């Protein structure tokens, strides 16, 4: 039973992550290779602030969101102006540098040793001890994130973003602020990813840099592509499928390390196959292009 | 701070810079024609290193094993272009989709290598540590010296080839205007094959040289790839020679920065350098200025 709950909670955490990336990838057509770093912003802010400074969980979460928003703002400022590939390059740099900071800023992050013993949070007197509590919390967050994303990604801004993707010059000619729209999508997406990271840190009670490598960024991208863009349910389904599917590999009985590699191969193959055979993903409204 | 210490850092910078320059030049060459961010460039690097390791484990002499490693990387790039990227291009897939596919390929290749060879570090050359040759107080091992020379010879050959062969002319034609080149009867497919072969080969040379110098793990390609990309940004993403220059500059600057900051911050510093370039000179030192997005 706990095992099933665990899978469900992971699906929710990754669901929020995938939804937040869909806002960037699906609406603006920009691809970020650094989503694991903004995710880490949330996880590490919560870990460092609650462990070292005894700050409450909600404050840690807010700090993580602010940090993720600031970092993505910086990346957008330098890379969104000229060419879409500059954004890929800058976020890739962010990913490698971000992971290296987690690994090397030992005074704050404890480097490769990771940070154990992150306390379970308490929200308005409700202490989340059991997995069931976390299940409620994580699906509550999924709901909240869905509302935010519905407002941002599927309202006027979302329509404008889709129009920009079709014809950027035209949107500019009718007086729309193209840069600001993309920036908003990116910042909101990053802040939501930080929320997800914060929940993850409190749920796992342990964070270390190996969770936030480029492979994690790739996994989140695969989830979005797998589920499909243009619908909120798409990335949620993609996350659920990619969390649940490799669990089957557990029964093959490979050693842990090799099973990890096999899981990655599965993600990579699925990504290529979906792009080749079903470019709109499982339930996406339109294909990535 | 002695002269020999600075000389040593400079020498280390040239060794590291050689690898960055090779990876960056290959990346820029492929980018100039295919116009997408070839993420599995990091994997061809690793393929080269591991192929050389396997050949040496089978008892092949070092020169032959190295050549084999480079060939494996080149063939790997060739196959990717022929059987994957080409079919995506046939569906007129965008640069974004090609990047996503390339990310998938990277994941598959890296983890397949990990499953076959294991995740632990393998060392290729098992020799006792020797003091190395001394040049103005800087010590380089034989392997490092060879790496610097091999890189220079490679670039010399590349330069000669780009001046003398017709293929180079075709590559430049496609790079400067793919539609016009197609209208003149130049086959994008064939030029792409050549470019992926040479570009991945360059990455493979870097992979083999790294494998000979230090231990290799399945993720070994990621860091030099990142540095190659930074080198390409510094030199101008479409300019092969700019990327070579950028690679050497980056390698030397990184190692000299050790005089001021702890070595563990070098990746972060490289990232900051890249951010500065994107902000102030997005087309790099030698890149031609481009007008926003092409429609």
Nearest Cα to Cα of residue A188 among A35, A67, A23, A43: A23
Give the nearest chain B residue to A111 (CA atoms): B264
- Cβ-defined contact of A218 to B229 (cutoff 8 Å): no
The helix or strand, by DSSP H or E, that contains position A142, with its residue range, turns out to be helix A131-153
Q: Helix, strand or coil for residue A138?
A: helix
Name the token pair of A166: 């079709």
Please give the residue that has the higher pLDDT: either B263 or A37. Answer: A37
Exposure pattern of A163-181 as b/e (b: 16+ CB <10 Å)? bbbeebeebeeeebebeeb
Q: Helix, strand or coil for residue A260?
A: helix
Residues of B whose CB is below 8 A from A94: 271
Q: What pLDDT does B291 receive?
A: 42
Q: What pLDDT does A152 receive?
A: 87
Task: Give the pTM.
Answer: 0.91
**CB of A164 less than 8 A from some CB of B:** no
How far is A149 from chain B, CA to nearest CA, in Å? Answer: 23
How far is A189 from chain B, CA to nearest CA, in Å? Answer: 19
Q: What pLDDT does B289 receive?
A: 52
- Cβ-defined contact of A275 to B101 (cutoff 8 Å): yes
Residues of A whose CB is below 8 A from B107: 215, 218, 264-265, 267-268, 271
Chain A residues 46-85 within an 8 A CB cutoff of chain B: 74, 77-79, 81-85
- Cβ-defined contact of A82 to B106 (cutoff 8 Å): no
Q: What pLDDT does B131 receive?
A: 61
DSSP state of A207: E
* Distance linking the first and last C-alpha atoms of chain A: 41
At which residue do the structure tokens 């393929």 appear?
Answer: B47
**CB of B168 less than 8 A from some CB of A:** no
Q: Could you read off the pLDDT tens digit of each residue along chain A, which spans 289 residues?
A: 788 899 999 999 999 999 999 999 988 888 899 999 999 999 999 999 999 888 888 899 999 999 999 999 999 888 887 677 888 888 999 999 999 999 999 888 888 888 998 888 877 667 777 888 888 899 999 999 999 999 888 888 889 988 888 888 898 888 888 899 999 999 999 999 999 999 999 999 999 999 999 999 999 999 999 999 988 899 999 999 999 988 877 777 777 778 888 999 999 999 999 999 998 999 888 887 7
Percent of chain B at pLDDT exceeding 90: 58
Q: What is the three-state SS of chain B?
A: CCHHHHHHHHHHHHHHHHHHHHHHHHHHHHHHHHCCCCCCHHHHHHHHHHHHHHHHHCCCCHHHHHHHHHHHHHHHHHHHHHHHHHHHHHCCCCHHHHHHHHHHHHHHHHHHHHHHHCCCCECCCCCCCCCCEEECCEEECHHHHHHHHHHHHHHHHHHHHHHHCHHHHHHHHHHHCHHHHHHCCCCHHHHHHHHHHHHHHHHHHHHHHHHHHCCECCCCCHHHHHHHHHHHHHHCCCCHHHHHHHHHHHHHHHHHHHHCCCHHHHHHHHHHHHHHHHHHCCCCCCCCCCCCCCC
CATH 1.10.3470 fits domain B3-286: yes
Name the token pair of B61: 């002499």
Q: What pLDDT does A184 receive?
A: 93
- The CA distance from A276 to B9, in Å, is 47
Q: What is the dihedral sign for C-alpha B159, B67, B151, B133?
A: negative
How far is A25 from chain B, CA to nearest CA, in Å? Answer: 10
**CB of B127 less than 8 A from some CB of A:** no
Q: What pLDDT does B176 receive?
A: 87
**CB of B267 less than 8 A from some CB of A:** yes
Residues of B whose CB is below 8 A from A276: 87-88, 101
CB A89 within 8 A of CB B37: yes
- Cβ-defined contact of A31 to B100 (cutoff 8 Å): yes
Mean pLDDT is lowest, of B50-59, B129-138, B266-275, for B129-138
């Amino acid at each position: 039973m706990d095992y099933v709950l665990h899978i469900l909670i992971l699906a929710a955490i990754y669901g929020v992550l995938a939804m937040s990336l869909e806002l960037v990838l699906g609406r603006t057509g920009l691809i970020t290779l650094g989503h694991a770093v903004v995710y880490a912003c949330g996880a590490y802010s919560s870990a460092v602030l609650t462990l070292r400074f005894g700050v409450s969980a909600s404050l840690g979460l807010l700090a993580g969101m602010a940090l993720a928003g600031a970092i993505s703002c910086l990346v957008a400022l330098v890379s969104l102006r000229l060419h879409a590939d500059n954004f890929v390059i800058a976020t890739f740099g962010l990913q490698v540098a971000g992971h290296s900071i987690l690994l090397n800023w030992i005074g704050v992050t404890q480097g490769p040793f990771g940070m154990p013993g992150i306390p379970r949070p308490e929200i308005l007197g409700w202490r989340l001890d059991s997995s069931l509590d976390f299940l409620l919390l994580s699906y509550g967050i999924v709901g909240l994130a869905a509302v935010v994303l519905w407002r941002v990604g599927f309202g006027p801004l979302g329509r404008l973003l889709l129009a920009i993707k079709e014809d950027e010059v035209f949107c500019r000619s009718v007086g729309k602020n193209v840069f600001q729209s993309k920036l908003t999508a990116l910042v909101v997406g990053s802040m939501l990813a930080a929320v997800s990271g914060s929940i993850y840190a409190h749920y796992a009670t342990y964070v270390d840099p190996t969770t936030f490598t480029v492979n994690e960024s790739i996994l989140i991208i695969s989830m979005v592509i797998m589920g499909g863009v243009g619908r909120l349910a798409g990335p949620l389904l993609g996350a659920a499928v990619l969390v649940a599917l490799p669990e089957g590999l557990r029964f093959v009985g490979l050693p842990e390390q090799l099973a990890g590699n096999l899981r990655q191969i599965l993600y990579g193959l699925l990504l290529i196959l979906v792009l080749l055979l079903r470019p709109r993903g499982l339930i996406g409204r339109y294909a990535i292009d | 701070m002695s002269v020999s210490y600075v000389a040593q850092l400079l020498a280390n910078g040239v060794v590291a810079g050689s690898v960055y320059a090779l990876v960056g030049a290959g990346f820029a060459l492929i980018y100039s024609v295919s116009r997408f961010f070839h993420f599995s460039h990091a994997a061809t690097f690793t393929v080269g290193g591991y192929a050389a390791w396997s050949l040496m484990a089978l008892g092949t002499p070092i020169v032959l094993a190295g050549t084999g490693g480079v060939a494996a990387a080149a063939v790997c790039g060739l196959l990717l272009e022929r059987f994957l990227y080409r079919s995506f291009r046939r569906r007129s897939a965008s640069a974004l989709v090609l990047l996503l596919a390339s990310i998938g390929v990277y994941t598959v290749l890296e983890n397949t290598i990990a499953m076959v060879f294991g995740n632990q570090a393998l060392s290729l050359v098992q020799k006792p540590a020797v003091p190395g040759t001394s040049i103005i107080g800087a010590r380089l091992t034989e392997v490092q010296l060879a790496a610097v020379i091999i890189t220079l010879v490679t670039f010399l050959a590349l330069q000669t080839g780009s001046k003398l062969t017709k293929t180079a002319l075709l590559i430049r034609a496609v790079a400067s205007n793919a539609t016009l080149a197609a209208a003149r009867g130049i086959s994008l497919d064939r030029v792409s094959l050549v470019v992926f072969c040479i570009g991945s080969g360059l990455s493979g040379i870097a992979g083999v040289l790294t494998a000979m110098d230090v231990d290799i793990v399945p993720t070994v390609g990621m860091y030099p790839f990142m540095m190659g990309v930074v080198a390409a940004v510094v030199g101008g993403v479409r300019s092969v020679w700019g990327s070579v220059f950028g690679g050497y500059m980056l390698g030397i600057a990184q190692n000299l920065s050790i005089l001021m900051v702890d070595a563990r911050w070098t990746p972060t510093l490289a990232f900051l350098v890249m951010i500065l370039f994107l902000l102030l000179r997005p087309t790099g030192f030698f890149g031609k200025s481009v007008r926003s997005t092409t429609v």
